[in-house]
Amino acid sequence: MNRFVVVGAGPAGLSLALQLARAGHSVALVEASRQFSRQFRGDALMPCGQEALARMGLSDLVAGLPQRPLTGWSVWVNGRKLFAVAEPMGSLQPCRLVPQQLLLEALLAEALQEPLFQWHPGQAVKRLQRSGGRICGVELADGRRLKADLVVGCDGRQSLVRREAGIQLHQRGKGLEVLWFELPGPLPADLDGGFNTHLCGGALGSSCVGARGELQLAWLLENGGPTPQRTPQAWGNAWAQLLPPPLANVVRERAAELHGPLRVSVQVGLAERWHQPGLLLLGDAAHPMSPVRAQGINMALRDSLVAASLLSQATPEELDRAAAAVQQQRLPEIQRAQALQSAEAGQGHLVGHTPLLRALLAQGRALLGPVAQRVWQTRQTPLREGLAGALPAAELSPQRTNSISW
């Protein structure tokens, strides 16, 4: 039996802790917050993320949560639809919107049933503990020390564990500055149930009806630019210029109910190493992802599945080699996903900030729309399905594995 300390109870940390505890290992999960509610969390489970959960034996758990299948994807230029693609785009399952808070709470409820699982909420990690050149545990803010054969840092893009270990994060591409808005439900039943990208007048944004029936809006800022100071009504009018009817009418009429803007800064990066003796980084702690196509939660779940497969079979003496193997197996998919995200963001920036190109696409959409759709859809397949061979070939034990059914 190995002793693990997992830092961070996000999708990677909670799902990993659950799998390791089920495999018969001692797991202490440390989380700085006492609750999972956040104003901004990724809720989109791509087919690749659903596959990871199914391989963990968690399909039934997820199926019991409130959720909404995404109906499709569309791109709008100057208020005109350039193209639309219906889900599931050739996949077995459509992309599904599941409130991440509820998913995390359900994973925690499962983990708490495991006798070898220890839960430490409201406890920030103060520092890593070392012995003989090896990380051997953590010291908590209240002074307690937790010993471990391996510490797993799953504490997000600003990972304290990564910084404590002295591991550098290399930036990849330009960061994003997003203003996030929500309009509470109920919404008109005839609103588009897909994810929509909008490019008009030099502004870039997206809209989507969330899993709880709320309208989610994201307004992309120039990097480092100030947050525009506008009244709710002024924001409603600004959104109405970007959105097509009838969505524009809904936002304008209910502008006083808009929640936001919440400014979210996202820097994409890749840690120079994911591991040290006694340490492994996963999820955004190892590779902060762009919000483009919701890769953060899905890659975190796939990290967790691979890590659990390799770590659960290792003896204490083999854990460092297993941690290195996790990075080796996961790195190609992460690099591919980040490159595709960067390409999509770059294309959106080009169109959004080139008036002549927008006018050409809007006016010639009958001819250019199908071409743009083919280019776009080719890029989506690996972002939705993941990279072939990125997950372990062996199945989990039959009693823990369920078929994918929703």
The number of beta carbons lying within 10 Å of the beta carbon of residue 377 is 15
Q: Per the domain annotation, does 229 fall within a domain?
A: yes
Which residues in the chain come in under a pLDDT of 50? 396-406
pLDDT for the residue numbered 400:
36
Instruction: Please give the Cα distance from 207 to 197 (Å, whole number).
Output: 7
Do 8 and 127 lie in a common domain?
yes
pLDDT for the residue numbered 41:
65
Instruction: Please give the Cα distance from 277 to 275 (Å, whole number).
Output: 7
Question: Residues near 222 by Cβ (< 8 Å), separated by ≥ 6?
Answer: 177
Do 199 and 237 lie in a common domain?
yes
Do 222 and 168 lie in a common domain?
no
pLDDT for the residue numbered 255:
96
Sign of the alpha-carbon dihedral angle for 96, 102, 108, 113 = negative
pLDDT for the residue numbered 224:
67
Helices and strands (H, E) in the chain, number of each type: 11, 21
Q: Per the domain annotation, does 394 fall within a domain?
A: no
Q: How far apart are the first and last CA of the chain?
A: 35
pLDDT for the residue numbered 30:
98
Question: Residues near 55 by Cβ (< 8 Å), separated by ≥ 6?
Answer: 305, 391, 395, 396, 401
Question: Residues near 153 by Cβ (< 8 Å), separated by ≥ 6?
Answer: 7, 8, 159, 161, 162, 165, 279, 280, 281, 282, 285, 286
Closest Cα partner for 16 from 198, 25, 187? 25
Do 127 and 59 lie in a common domain?
yes
The count of structural domains within the chain is: 2
Inter-residue contact 97 to 125 (CB < 8 Å): no
Q: Per the domain annotation, does 226 fall within a domain?
A: yes
Beta bridge partners of 159: none
Q: Per the domain annotation, does 153 fall within a domain?
A: yes
Instruction: Please give the Cα distance from 68 to 162 (Å, whole number).
Output: 35
**Domain-terminating residue out of 234, 266, 298:** 266
Q: Which domain holds residue 235?
A: 176-266
Do 331 and 289 lie in a common domain?
yes
CA angle at 100 for the pair 213 and 83, rounded to the nearest 5°: 55
Closest Cα partner for 281 from 389, 390, 165? 165
Q: Per the domain annotation, does 69 fall within a domain?
A: yes
Q: Per the domain annotation, does 405 fall within a domain?
A: no
pLDDT for the residue numbered 221:
87
Beta bridge partners of 199: 77, 204
Do 227 and 272 lie in a common domain?
no
Query: By three-state DSSP, how is residue 367 classified?
Result: helix
Inter-residue contact 400 to 90 (CB < 8 Å): no
Q: Per the domain annotation, does 401 fall within a domain?
A: no
Q: What is the CATH number of the domain that holds 143?
A: 3.50.50.60
Helix %, strand %, coil % for the chain, to 5?
Answer: 40, 25, 35
Do 116 and 186 lie in a common domain?
no
pLDDT for the residue numbered 272:
96
Inter-residue contact 212 to 66 (CB < 8 Å): yes
CA angle at 51 for the pair 276 and 389, rounded to the nearest 5°: 60
**Domain-terminating residue out of 213, 247, 266:** 266
pTM of the complete model: 0.93
Query: By three-state DSSP, how is residue 96 classified?
Result: strand
